[in-house]
Chain A
Amino acid sequence: MTGSKTSDRGFRVPQPPARPGEAPDFSNFDFGEPGKLPLLDAEAPVEAFEPFHDGLLRVLDMDGKAHGDWASMVSEEDLKEALTAMIRTRAFDQRMMRAQRQGKTSFYMQCLGEEAIAVGCALALRDGDMHFPTYRQQGILFVNGIDPEAMMNQIYSNKKDPLEGKQLPVLYSFKDNGFFTISGNLGTQWPQAVGWAMASAIKGDDKIAMAYIGDGATAEGDWHQGNLFASVYRAPVILSVVNNQWAISTTSAFAGADKNTFATRMASYGLPALRVDGNDIIAVIAATRLAAERARAGLGAVAIEFLTYRGGAHSTSDDPTKYRPKEELGSWPLGDPLDRLKQHMTVSGLMTDEEIAALEEAAEKEMREAENRAEEVGLVHAGEGADPAKMFEKVYEEMPGRLLEQKKEAGF
């Protein structure tokens, strides 16, 4: 829980523990210790989840060593895949942040510091399952096999943009990769994921859905309604709150996080709920895998709060130095998920520094080449955007008469 500095009585407006110029302060969190919370069985009764509502599921310590039984749910192969995907995600973000500064796109959103969550969740799910992401789960795509050039073409809104220029940069849609179309309207995907899962259950299918939402957006009514529907209908969905502590400039206290953890609140709907170190890839994969097994076994939804820290600016249109201390990221006690995984790989002898450096180099090269290809296709900001006539298509399955008229009127 994050605290807020206000007096004890009367009207309050929550404040973060520290503002620019002040020393970062995470003293309100109790992080617990890695390896301390017991491994749960997928069939465990809801009560067994109680220690996880306020506690924090952690496997990796800050020296890269794994502790406790949850580690047994994650294999060496998982970790190698996770490392590759996290490295690629970060390399992609860095490329696109640079591309934005160079004016190749007007907008980008990175997931710096949160890479373990999307990557870990994607690894725990199967082909055919559907992720209902926000704009900060691009990591899923680096597990689910998308060509980064396709993402870049979307960001550049060019002639190979899979969405043909209709959508803002980063609001991807990749159905075949289990990635639901991202909306600009916060929270809407939450009940949609529940409905998708309900449909799977109605059909007797074993596919599951996974919903994501930021801490700030949990204040939306859709969060509450989705939690309720998931619980009422025992939908095979994993409901994950990505608590990165910030919603643009406001702290998670504005979404009630200083009163109760998001895990506790989701548990109040009767859902089994876990609170997980979101910067610990092993904990993320293990928790999500357990949730997936449980959902697939017909035992219904599982809620997860991933605790993390938004490492970068909210978007390329945001300047966080105006509202939080610059030093916060560096002093965040759960550290950097990628550094922690790299350390674990070397400490446990799974990989050498050289092998990791080679992966980073390969990712850097892959993204550079993808960017070159995308740039060759064109940039909307250089007047090489998607075909304007496409604008009129796919409003409906068939273009109605009045739209046809407007298309002609526009000169197509």
Chain B
Amino acid sequence: MNMIEAIRDAHDVAMERDDDVVVFGEDAGYFGGVFRCTAGLQEKYGANRCFDSPIAESGIVGTGIGMAAYGLKPVIEIQFADYITPAYDQISQEAARMRYRSNGEFTCPIVIRTPTGGGIYGGQTHSQSPEAIFTHVCGLKVVIPSNPYDAKGLLLASIEDPDPVIFLEPKRLYNGPFEGYHDRALKGWKDHEDGKVPEGYYTVPLGKAKTVRAGKDVTVLCYGNMVHVCEAAQAESGVDAEIIDLRSLIPLDLEAIEASVKKTGRCVIVHEATKTSGFGGELMSLVQERCFYHLEAPIVRVTGWDTPYPHAQEWTYFPGPKRVGDALKKVVEAK
């Protein structure tokens, strides 16, 4: 399966298992979503369970919160992560705090799925990586898969989760692992180990990172698109890097991070999002707090630049294998 099929399948499994799961969003019903992630669900489960919505993100999330308060499990699609900000009030002030402010009387078990990240010539409003505006909100969980197997398992786990989950789908990975070379043919998920997606129900737990490659010399913390970029950078640079796909940012697998950095003594953090106040800053602080006496070199971040996501300059902006590889070498060579 590719990642779209895996996500579609996760919906299907969840809707089959639980009548309370409802799916909606702009173009998510009859048409099955602009990326086809909800294709066929309306036909199979009826328009009461999978339906189109007005183009109104705050209304989509606001009504979703009300449905969750009633007892349903809404799985909401926001067409692009760039367009989630109209719903930010409902997400950050309402969904995130429903349980806390009502002291547990009302809860908000919703999942808000949204395609994130760049690498598709999406320009300023089809490329952003807004995870940090959600990781900063207490009460939310933030998940970002990097392959079809995880996408399905993490989405099923998110739907079952009792707390609101922001589920970011790197759209550059929908059809295949992307290492950052736009001029090479896309490989597709067919021959990739993580493209083998089991039928039926399984979950990948939130809060558990995955070691994509074991290594001795430096720990690479990454997620989403960057997992594949980091793998390419490792191969090209020859640095014996340990690559960790965080998979969920909140909750965060601190044990895995700490164990790896204590082992390697060095750390590179890679994300596509802009640098200043990005999630990398948080990761850096945590590593510094927890692994200071094990560190042999300053921690380095490779991220998007602090600019809006440009169109023509896509590949200067996108942190590709070259930039990551240079950082790996720099960090292992640092004395």
Contact = CB atoms under 8 A, between A and B. Distances in A.
A binds B: yes
Given A188-B94, A229-B56, A401-B251, A209 B66 contact: yes
Interface residues of B, number: 46
- Among B49, B65, B66, B71, residue most surrounded by chain A Cβ atoms (within 10 Å): B66
Contacts of A397: 99, 107, 162-163
A317 B100 CA distance: 25
A326 to B, nearest CB: 36
Contacts of B139: 395-396
A24 interface: no
A173 interface: yes
A171 B101 contact: yes
A397 B103 CA distance: 11
Nearest to A403: B138
B70 A185 contact: no
A222 B100 contact: no
A361 to B, nearest CB: 34
Contact of A180 (B69, B86, B100, B250): B69
B48 A400 contact: no
Contacts of B250: 400
Interface bin, chain A: 35 or more
A149 B62 CA distance: 32
A164 B62 CA distance: 26
Given A195-B66, A196-B69, A395-B139, A185 B105 contact: no
B323 to A, nearest CB: 30
A229 B62 CA distance: 10
Given A166-B101, A228-B56, A401-B254, A173 B66 contact: no
A346 interface: no
B284 interface: no
B22 A191 contact: no
Interface in B195-252: 207, 250-252
Interface in B159-202: 162-163
A401 B22 CA distance: 31
A199 interface: yes
B100 A225 contact: no
A372 B63 CA distance: 41
Given A202-B72, A225-B59, A232-B54, A163 B66 contact: no
Contacts of A188: 62, 89-90, 93-94
A226 B64 CA distance: 12
Contacts of A167: 101, 103
Contacts of A394: 99-100, 103-104
B295 interface: no
Interface in B27-75: 48-49, 53-54, 56, 58-59, 62-72, 74
Interface in A206-229: 209, 221-222, 225-226, 228-229
A199 B100 contact: no
15 contacts: A162-B103, A166-B103, A175-B102, A180-B106, A191-B62, A192-B69, A194-B66, A195-B64, A199-B22, A199-B72, A221-B86, A229-B53, A232-B54, A394-B104, A401-B254
Interface of A: 130, 132, 162-164, 166-167, 171, 173-175, 180-181, 183-185, 188, 190-200, 202-203, 209, 221-222, 225-226, 228-229, 232, 394-397, 400-402
4 cross-chain pairs, A with B, having the tightest CB-CB distances, nearest first: A195-B66, A191-B62, A195-B63, A225-B59
Interface of B: 22, 48-49, 53-54, 56, 58-59, 62-72, 74, 86, 89-90, 93-94, 97-107, 138-139, 141, 162-163, 207, 250-252, 254
Given A181-B98, A198-B67, A229-B63, 7 more contacts: A183-B94, A195-B63, A195-B69, A199-B67, A221-B86, A225-B54, A401-B254
